[in-house]
Chains A and B, each alone.
Chain A
Amino acid sequence: MNFPILSSLILLPSIGALFLFFTKSDKKNNFTGKYVALFTSAVNFFLSIYLWILFDPTTSEFQFVEERIWIKDLINYKVGVDGISILFILLTTFITPLCIISVNNSIKERLSEFLIAVLIMESFMIGVFCSLDLVIFYLFFEAGLIPMFLIIGIWGGARRVYSAFKFFLYTLLGSVLMLVAIITIYWLNGTTDVVELYNSGVDIKYQNLLWLAFFSSFAVKTPMWPVHTWLPDAHVEAPTAGSVLLAAILLKMAGYGFIRFSLGLFPAASEIFTPLIYTLSVIAIIFTSFIALMQEDMKKLIAYSSVAHMGYVTLGIFTIQQQGIEGSIIQMISHGLVSAALFLCVGVVYDRMHSRLINTYGGIVSIIPKYSILFMLFTLAALGLPGTSGFVGEFLILMGAFKDNFLVAVIASLGVIIGAAYMLWLYKRVVFGKLINTDLKQMFDLNRSELFILSCLAVPTLVFGFYPDPLINTIEVSISDLIDQYNFKLASKT
């Protein structure tokens, strides 16, 4: 067996965290602690790039598979990647170092503990994306709650306790039903190995209930309307780095879960429940876009826009069209980059003015021009302007939707307009206009680390906007195979 690259990806951040744990945390060592964390996550990023280079996009088989006996006669530790999961791993390893750089400006106390939480979080999230066993998946999926709870609760804003509890209990409530479903699958098929389950299929009698159980977990995590209410609270109260992790990666676990498990394991049920998903997605797109329009808190606005964007994602996944699912994955990657950047942008002005309210600002374009340019880029990417990665995702999703259901596609397209409205209005109110609040004059422009982070996020946003081929090439075969499997299973059982 070759070098266990996936296990290394999972383990490395935890080892870094362990190392941090044993370094004393006085002021001076905090500094070195940061470099330790940055170093580990950077190594992890390069390792994942290496993984992407080695990755063979011409097959839909799982690659780099590692399998070990874990609980005897019960569960094997099995990890592997295919075209669907590898991009999420890259996203995770890309965002985490940026988060670690960004703590410079926002986290003032208990820095090394914060870094430990972030690194452990990275481990868990990579674990989610590459586990090929339902129990292992559940393990990582749930374990992520612990560090996130602490990140929101310890380093959050004024209402952090309420938000942390809401976040934890909402997601836990959704997930326990998934655990019942996983055990039921084990009882039905005698295995929780995803590859074997793909081949053998799940008994059609149980599919509907199992699908609903998985749905309850993923719907909360996505989040879909009407169980999205934890998200704005969690985002608003979390520290900037926490919001970035939450928006960029945590939300993607559910979208990934929908593709991997709902479509892969329960095709018959997915077919039945597609109208439900369409309805909820369309409501999410239109309804939360209107809510976003009325927000006065910048973070809340972006949080609601996340719900709307994830509405496109779920819509795209359940079109079961090549373009739709491709679009969903690209939309998730793009949203990962763009929403992370937007939260960082809010973080930048918040660190200076300690206010997230939109009406505090106005007319800052002449004071901090560099910031204004980058903020504009990400605003445009969020509303899906051609030339940014947001456009590619939305366009493909809508194309898939038009093939499947005309009405839904038309309504979803209208959401794009509202999306443009609230993003542009936000930008206009914050950056343009008359400079009324004179305190704003003391603001200084982006410092080096902020400029570095935002540029890092801007580059892929633009590159993949003009040239999305690397992404599409990676996922194409896996998705077409998934759809073939899906249609084959559907045809053979009905």
Chain B
Amino acid sequence: MENLQLVLPEIFLSLSIMFLLILGVFKKNSSRLVQSLSLAVLIVTAVITFNETIGINETKLFNNSIIIDYLSSLMKIITLLAAFLVLIISSNYLKTFQIFKIEYPILILSSVLGMMVMINSNDLIVFYMGLELQSLALYVLATFNRDQIKSSEAGLKYFVLSALSSGLLLYGCSLIYGFTGSTNFNVIADQLNSNEYALTFGIVFILVGLAFKISAVPFHMWAPDVYEGSPTSVTLFFTMVPKIAALTVFIRFLYVPFLNLIDQWQMILIFLSIASMLFGAIAAIGQTNLKRLVAYSSIGHVGYALAGVAAGTNDGIQSSVIYITIYILMNLGLFSCLLMLKRDNNYYEKIDDLSGLSKNHPMLALSLLIILFSLAGIPPLAGFFAKFYVFKAVIEQSMYFLAIVGLLSTVVAAFYYLRLIKIMYFDEQKEKYDTDHGFWLKFSLTASTLLILIYFIFPSQLIEVVSRINII
């Protein structure tokens, strides 16, 4: 009998999803109840994960197809907490559009379950299963506001393109299986013969699929449209949660079976990273819609996280985990601000709608100012440290080109962040926005802003948390 305790979080989560679904179907008007229960489920799952798995050594279950180690536990906890925050701040938005339904929390839970399976996976089949589970839930979430044509378009676009990339990914898996005779990561690592060029093709196909999921250039085309069309609360989910799982799979997939082929995939990752950083920075300049702008900025940030992965060291992996954590924090703050731009049951998402915000809503503008400077990577805010660790890992591997291009693209990116600040602070004011936001929205904005602001006082804590990640 395998030790089921270690997969208790996943078991608990899947049982809860089924229970909540039944509850939602049989009990009328239970969306508020399901929402609260889902929040509780996420927290409980996080607690179980923390209790059961965070302290243990690397363990493999079910014919070595699932791996439980520090990296997977940590990433699962981050995923769960991020999903919790998304869920809790999105209720007002959903109510405004009258889409506060039971499906929303359940879909989020299902996609989180898929992500947890992805994070755990030590086998191509398990990994693919998790990926599809999370993607299916995400397609539906993207179309969640089905009365709006843009939302439906976003979901459809996402579905078609994502299916294509899944196909490529699956083709890559089959190539790898064909040349190594197994889908298990460890067996693949043992069977690896670097002279097989077709194997490299397999890696490339899988990387393409993964790059699509994490929206790295040149596989980013879907991101701006989907981010713009989806309901804002779903966009928030898209920009934060799936990226954690995808990044973990990136790390696991490249560093467990294919560490010996590092020369071959490192080039690809460096390209992905540089292309994302530069393209994200340049393309964001011309945007007029805040959600599109955020989409391009998230493409850029993914580039920085991938730069850490490209370094090929434990330091690099740790730095990318730090990067993605801080990025999630900043994004949370940014979207909390977006969700506050509401007037007469209407949400505003044009850049010009920020005009003169500092006069009407000084605290909101100040928070956004801090978050934007942090996103631009200006010290002493948290965003600077995220970039600092990544580039430290990169430079230690003498990858100067990557470091210099990356840092120069932060200058380009600074331009569009500054533009937002300019509009808030230097331009004339417009009408006021509503101020009766829910407690949790205010809380998430305040908490994320404060954490970004005072991160420099306690920089060691986060490092200590990630320093136990040990893949190589």
B404: chain A residues at CB < 8 Å are: 177, 180
Binary per-residue interface labels of chain B (223-243) against chain A in the complex, 1 for a CB within 8 Å, 0 otherwise: 000000000000000000000
Known A70-B459, A72-B460, A176-B408: A146·B373 in contact at CB below 8 Å: yes
Q: A169–B414 contact, CB under 8 A?
A: yes
Contact size class for A? 20 to 34
* Measured CA separation A138–B377 after assembly (Å): 13
* Measured CA separation A74–B463 after assembly (Å): 10
The segment from B157-165, B210-218, B301-309, B390-398 found at the interface with A is B390-398
- A169 is contacted by which of B411, B421, B460, B464 (Cβ under 8 Å)? B411
Known A72-B460, A153-B425: A177·B407 in contact at CB below 8 Å: yes
- A72 is contacted by which of B378, B456, B463 (Cβ under 8 Å)? B463
B408: chain A residues at CB < 8 Å are: 173, 176
Known A72-B463, A139-B380, A143-B380: A183·B411 in contact at CB below 8 Å: no
Output the residue of A70, A150, A172 with the most chain B CB within 10 A. A172
Binary per-residue interface labels of chain B (421-442) against chain A in the complex, 1 for a CB within 8 Å, 0 otherwise: 1100110000000000000000
* Measured CA separation A411–B203 after assembly (Å): 64
Q: A145–B378 contact, CB under 8 A?
A: yes
Cβ of B201 within 8 Å of any chain A Cβ, yes or no, is no
Q: How far is the CB of A340 from chain B (nearest CB, A)?
A: 26
Known A146-B378, A153-B425, A154-B426: A180·B400 in contact at CB below 8 Å: yes
Q: A183–B426 contact, CB under 8 A?
A: no
* Measured CA separation A179–B403 after assembly (Å): 10
A139: chain B residues at CB < 8 Å are: 379-380, 384, 456
B395: chain A residues at CB < 8 Å are: 180, 183-184, 187
Cβ of A149 within 8 Å of any chain B Cβ, yes or no, is yes
- B391 is contacted by which of A70, A154, A180 (Cβ under 8 Å)? A180
Residue of B nearest to A21 (CB): B366
A186: chain B residues at CB < 8 Å are: 392
Q: How far is the CB of B90 from chain A (nearest CB, A)?
A: 31
Q: A173–B418 contact, CB under 8 A?
A: no
B121: chain A residues at CB < 8 Å are: none
Binary per-residue interface labels of chain B (3-18) against chain A in the complex, 1 for a CB within 8 Å, 0 otherwise: 0000000000000000
A297: chain B residues at CB < 8 Å are: none
Cβ of A160 within 8 Å of any chain B Cβ, yes or no, is yes
Query: Which chain A residues in 171-193 approach chain B with CB under 8 Å?
Result: 172-173, 176-177, 179-180, 183-184, 186-187
Provide the main secondary structure of the chain B interface. Answer: helix
Cβ of B222 within 8 Å of any chain A Cβ, yes or no, is no
Known A150-B425, A153-B426, A186-B392: A176·B415 in contact at CB below 8 Å: no
A183: chain B residues at CB < 8 Å are: 388, 391-392, 395, 403
A160: chain B residues at CB < 8 Å are: 426
* Measured CA separation A164–B421 after assembly (Å): 11
B392: chain A residues at CB < 8 Å are: 183, 186-187
B415: chain A residues at CB < 8 Å are: 165, 169
Q: B407–A72 contact, CB under 8 A?
A: no
A149: chain B residues at CB < 8 Å are: 418, 421
Q: How far is the CB of A49 from chain B (nearest CB, A)?
A: 28
Cβ of B248 within 8 Å of any chain A Cβ, yes or no, is no
Query: Which chain B residues in 433-468 approach chain A with CB under 8 Å?
Result: 456, 459-460, 463-464
B459: chain A residues at CB < 8 Å are: 70-71
Cβ of A168 within 8 Å of any chain B Cβ, yes or no, is yes
A-B contact pairs, 23 of them (CB 8 A): A71-B463, A72-B463, A138-B379, A139-B456, A143-B378, A143-B380, A146-B373, A165-B415, A165-B418, A168-B414, A168-B418, A169-B414, A169-B418, A172-B378, A173-B411, A176-B407, A176-B411, A177-B404, A179-B407, A180-B391, A180-B395, A180-B403, A180-B404
Report which A residues bind B (CB closer than 8 A). Answer: 69-72, 74, 135, 138-140, 142-143, 145-146, 149-150, 153-154, 160-161, 164-165, 168-169, 172-173, 176-177, 179-180, 183-184, 186-187
Given contacts A142-B378, A154-B425, A180-B400, 12 further A-B contacts (CB under 8 A): A72-B460, A72-B464, A139-B379, A146-B373, A165-B415, A165-B418, A172-B414, A173-B408, A180-B404, A183-B395, A183-B403, A187-B395
Please provide the 9 A-B residue pairs with the shortest distance between their CB atoms, ordered closest to farther: A176-B407, A139-B379, A72-B460, A183-B395, A71-B459, A142-B379, A173-B411, A143-B379, A153-B426
Report which B residues bind A (CB closer than 8 A). Answer: 373, 378-380, 384, 388, 391-392, 395-396, 400, 403-404, 407-408, 410-411, 414-415, 418, 421-422, 425-426, 456, 459-460, 463-464
